[in-house]
Structure 1
């Protein structure tokens, strides 16, 4: 089964400055009398090799030409099936991230004095602009803990993109991009944008826009903060990380070639098109980076630092480039890039390694292909490739990975064929431990297995798993997995012997956790939903709503609930975005954290008519991490526009809510504005600021 791509990618215009340069190793075009029978485009699980320029050029052009031919099914060729980490010791909270030494982008950044908020004019009070405009609010904290705006910084002319920030010393980095996403399978093609037709009969990964922006702001004088460098990079941003003050951008680029004659599919026209593409300089088919200040462009990556599959032949090809770019935050002009001539859907990063992953359907089942790159040296380098069965679900896929003591652990899900007797498609959840052996990532253990056959997930009467995975988190030599149908089985997996993983314990409670946060080796925090088990008439009545649960995991064979808090008929964005949570280790035995909560409630107006009102709040909690461990809810800071006309109040999605905890001050960021309170009395707040 082929991977589905945007067919119109071949007709898009090349940005000015994309091509023209030649490279010494690129072979001159050879006169051909017949178009070779190219193999179908597929993603290989073989290790990568650094290609010569001629190998890279041919592999890329083969992929472009094959994609062109796929527009015409009768072109004469037969298509083949495509084969948490604890907070750092500071007195203020920072972005919640998966790995302690790996920073992640967010819409706010704070350094203890300056707060930067990626704002949008559509979320302004009394906004009368017909066009969305992005800007950065620069807020400064004074000795009394008050935040005052000292600067607004407009920086982008892309009104409907997303913004993510990084902060390092005197540099603020802004990434402005269109997000990538998966479409769900449908029976009809869908129109993504003008002339962009996507066949969504199976899930499809959309790589975002045709380019993204990267800006660097000098904040050494905050009141005069200004953009020092700004770049436009061709391709769609997949993800980013900052490790050891180096920014890593992972992006996808579909090459553009405009000179195909698509008016005819006769043999002579196809041959002439093949000759045109063969004669094209490879530099015209690779992504560029443009300095917007002087409008000069350069190749983002050169063929001498690109990789192809080691099993690629002269008849194989792929028409997508994944680029990994490293930029020094202290000197943005210093950068290096490498590329992979394949497809990637996401990343996971540890302090020393970056892993790319992509899931592809082959041989009747999903397979996830993983490439590992070393980041610890002066330059990036390819390390190894592996393949495991299954896919990574639909949300927060990076949390299904963890590197520990040089090994990669991963949790996947396989959708099995529809079972007529059971009336549903069973699921198979697996945990893999992968070890690098030369240039391969080899599975040295998996769960379930012959000696540990217990499935991950509860089974029905036929012994089939019908519960999906809702949360995965690794912590040292343990893994925690939550599956759900109507009750939440929390599985604790012992990985102390990496070759013999076992399910050490499990716990069933109503509802589920969608995010798990290791507090320490004895405590685990779960955030999700409390849901009544309507399938079991004898089940205990529970209150539906957003739920925070503190688990005791000191005995991994018998995890227990210490206590929990439910927000009736509410949800929390933390279920799908862990960056909405803020954590602060206040002292040795006290962890403070916040969680945004939203719900709709009805009210009666003066005419005795019901109307719905959205309530947005920031819940504040403390966890006593001593022997008397307990989860304590202190109250909530609520969004209040009581002095502002209802007609001018912005509609802000709670998924953008963030918070900063600084000692005994709590700052709740909702949209473009801030509500400030003291930690012990969060409900007594001041705002919007």
Structure 2
């Protein structure tokens, strides 16, 4: 694999080494590309030579415009979607039965997301503790297959197909003293865990989806080129030196190499697209059949720093964050690219741009032929964002325009995304903490000191309208439908000044134009991983329960899950479950996932699996330690 370098020079080591950059010489002068609002329009290169020159120009311009003494504005890229055009946009309701089982808490019905645990109702497949893939037979309570993972691999996730288990991971490799990142997808026999097929590509996974037997991948690559790296670490590199090093590169230095079952293949330069401004980083979108027999892949590569994916049954949306380099006034937008798939080929079929940044995949929703997007525009100076409760004491600057949030609607055409309408000025001086689109209604939570839960009527795509603004203390960081006209919010309670105090779960009545609070559950000094990882949340409709992982920090550390009974207008704590029976480090027993299989509630931690009888007193029934 080729050594690569993040062209934007965002790491602290690069910033320290490159502070001496000066202006370019005329020999390598490249006209800077100015900030162009709504610049999502992509273009193809005319030839491979044109592609190389265009990428080199973009990289040199990025060096010229990067201020090594200031930090880069960060995109709010936490994860970590709805459904295809013409269908509903809600999560599947998980119902119980004699042999029923829950699945991953996916955002879109029929569109599976990678996770650390999967089940077919009999076997539980896990890769939770990063040292092995395990298959547990829930009938015998025994681990029936186990395969160690390499120490260099991390970020393991799984898909479960009809007759295959798909293992994704990031692999750290070393080439002449340079450490590289490589994405790897392996198709495993679910019984023996033997490798049946493999695919590797330079870079790391942005995200993936499994739809109708097809694995759809978005893999990001940040180029590292040793001569450029050497110039940066010399400590006295000028822009001329850097430009000369960039001009000495070849196209293969910029495009990710990949292998299918050990056979090396290359990205076709005819399959490269780029916006007006880019840095040299790229995202490759491709599809592979889940049932294997892989011989080749056909990546479509876009020269963007994509960091978020939203998947539907027909589409995959890639979001890319762009901001004004070197401008005094903060300017930023999120560019969105839509891909469809046919015969294993990814095709770019639409582009759009929205002001500001997206929170996560729930900020996007495709419904009834329209894409809805929720974003926040932040003022200069930044501030405290989701998952960061002012831990450095930072506050949004009072000068300049205040923050605000917007919902924008686009008509989804065969080859286009055309804006039809928008509504803005949601949460002025605040920012989005949670979004959920359900049918033709959107729910948007913004927060700074109090939590307005906005209800947005999207039934007329040309005229979105805010119909309600419920204000309560604290905020919801994740929203989930729990029945007709009922919405559950998992978040934090807060003081009137915005200081968070503990876990808060709210049950909302959404029947009217403005939501109303029916009941709340509060746990002082606690937090939940659900706020940044929705896969940790379980709603089981038949039993009318929500299972939420909890970490208590109030007096002394403890972790487990709280099982909440959801009534028509009430929340009741039914039980607390933890893995204290395991004689291991308590920090290793944090419950990460919950699964229902038949009459059993299974909980997963790095220490093992535990089952409790579903309902009643939730009797402990089994422990399977690793």
Contact in 2 for aligned 1:58/1:317 (Cα 8 Å): no
Query: Could you tell me how far apart the structure 2 residues matched to 1:579 and 1:239 are?
Result: 14
1:669 paired residue number: 604
Contact in 1 for aligned 2:28/2:240 (Cα 8 Å): no
Query: Could you tell me how far apart the structure 1 residues matched to 2:66 and 2:494 are?
Result: 48
1:574 paired residue number: 530
- The equivalent position to 1:468 in structure 2, one of 409, 421, 431, is 431
1:583 paired residue number: 539
Query: Could you tell me how far apart the structure 2 residues matched to 1:289 and 1:151 are?
Result: 30
Is residue 2:544 matched to residue 1:564? Answer: no
Q: Deviations over 1:78-113 (max 9, x none)?
A: xxxxxx513356621100011112111111111101
Q: Deviations over 1:519-547 (max 9, x none)?
A: 344111111122333589xxxxxx94212
State the Cα RMSD in Å: 3.7
- The equivalent position to 2:45 in structure 1, one of 17, 40, 51, is 51
SS of the equivalent of 2:52 reads: helix
Is residue 2:139 matched to residue 1:139? Answer: no
Alignment of 1:122-133 (within 5 A): none
Alignment of 1:271-350 (within 5 A): 276-277=248-249, 280=250, 282-290=251-259, 296-299=263-266, 301-309=267-275, 318-331=279-292, 333=294, 335-350=297-312
What TM-score results when the alignment is normalised by the length of structure 2?
0.79
**Residue 686 to residue 258, structure 1, CA distance change in 2 (3 Å):** closer
Contact in 2 for aligned 1:666/1:679 (Cα 8 Å): yes
1:652 paired residue number: 588
Q: Deviations over 1:588-612 (max 9, x none)?
A: xx5333111110364xxxxxxxxx4
Alignment of 1:142-181 (within 5 A): 142=139, 147-158=141-152, 161-177=154-170
Contact in 2 for aligned 1:48/1:384 (Cα 8 Å): no
1:228 paired residue number: 196
**Residue 298 to residue 663, structure 1, CA distance change in 2 (3 Å):** same
Query: Could you tell me how far apart the structure 2 residues matched to 1:331 and 1:488 are?
Result: 48
Query: Could you tell me how far apart the structure 2 residues matched to 1:304 and 1:5 are?
Result: 28
Contact in 1 for aligned 2:187/2:292 (Cα 8 Å): no
C-alpha deviation, 1:369, in angstroms: 1.2
Contact in 1 for aligned 2:474/2:493 (Cα 8 Å): yes
2:91 paired residue number: 85
Contact in 2 for aligned 1:118/1:137 (Cα 8 Å): yes
**Residue 649 to residue 446, structure 1, CA distance change in 2 (3 Å):** same
Which sits farther off after the overlay, 439-448 or 42-51?
A: 42-51
For the pair shown, which has the larger CA radius of gyration, 1 or 2?
1
Query: Could you tell me how far apart the structure 2 residues matched to 1:340 and 1:563 are?
Result: 47
- The equivalent position to 1:445 in structure 2, one of 411, 414, 421, is 421
Query: Could you tell me how far apart the structure 2 residues matched to 1:479 and 1:195 are?
Result: 50
1:39 paired residue number: 31
Query: Could you tell me how far apart the structure 2 residues matched to 1:72 and 1:427 are?
Result: 24
Q: Deviations over 1:190-240 (max 9, x none)?
A: xxxx999xxxxxxxxxxx962122222111xx2x33222334320122222
SS of the equivalent of 2:361 reads: helix
Unaligned runs of 5+ in 1: 10-33, 74-83, 121-132, 180-193, 197-207, 449-454, 458-464, 537-542, 603-611
1:21 paired residue number: none
Query: Could you tell me how far apart the structure 1 residues matched to 2:222 and 2:207 are?
Result: 17
**Residue 388 to residue 154, structure 1, CA distance change in 2 (3 Å):** same
Contact in 2 for aligned 1:47/1:440 (Cα 8 Å): no
Query: Could you tell me how far apart the structure 1 residues matched to 2:585 and 2:243 are?
Result: 61
C-alpha deviation, 1:683, in angstroms: 5.9
Contact in 2 for aligned 1:620/1:682 (Cα 8 Å): no
**Residue 513 to residue 317, structure 1, CA distance change in 2 (3 Å):** closer
1:129 paired residue number: none
Query: Could you tell me how far apart the structure 1 residues matched to 2:452 and 2:244 are?
Result: 61
Alignment of 1:251-270 (within 5 A): 251-258=219-226, 262=231
Unaligned runs of 5+ in 2: 1-5, 15-25, 69-89, 382-394
Is residue 2:510 matched to residue 1:553? Answer: yes
1:214 paired residue number: 185
What TM-score results when the alignment is normalised by the length of structure 1?
0.72
Is residue 2:121 matched to residue 1:112? Answer: yes
Contact in 2 for aligned 1:615/1:639 (Cα 8 Å): no
Is residue 2:560 matched to residue 1:638? Answer: no
C-alpha deviation, 1:665, in angstroms: 0.6
Query: Could you tell me how far apart the structure 2 residues matched to 1:268 and 1:469 are?
Result: 42
C-alpha deviation, 1:62, in angstroms: 3.1
2:447 paired residue number: 484
Contact in 2 for aligned 1:321/1:343 (Cα 8 Å): yes
Is residue 2:357 matched to residue 1:391? Answer: yes
**Residue 104 to residue 317, structure 1, CA distance change in 2 (3 Å):** closer
Contact in 2 for aligned 1:85/1:98 (Cα 8 Å): yes
Query: Could you tell me how far apart the structure 2 residues matched to 1:473 and 1:317 are?
Result: 31
Q: Deviations over 1:91-137 (max 9, x none)?
A: 211000111121111111111011011143xxxxxxxxxxxx62112
Query: Could you tell me how far apart the structure 2 residues matched to 1:650 and 1:321 are?
Result: 41
Is residue 2:396 matched to residue 1:431? Answer: no
Contact in 1 for aligned 2:379/2:396 (Cα 8 Å): no
**Residue 629 to residue 178, structure 1, CA distance change in 2 (3 Å):** farther
Q: Deviations over 1:275-321 (max 9, x none)?
A: 643xx4x3454212235x75x4222x221222234xx6xxx874222
C-alpha deviation, 1:50, in angstroms: 3.8
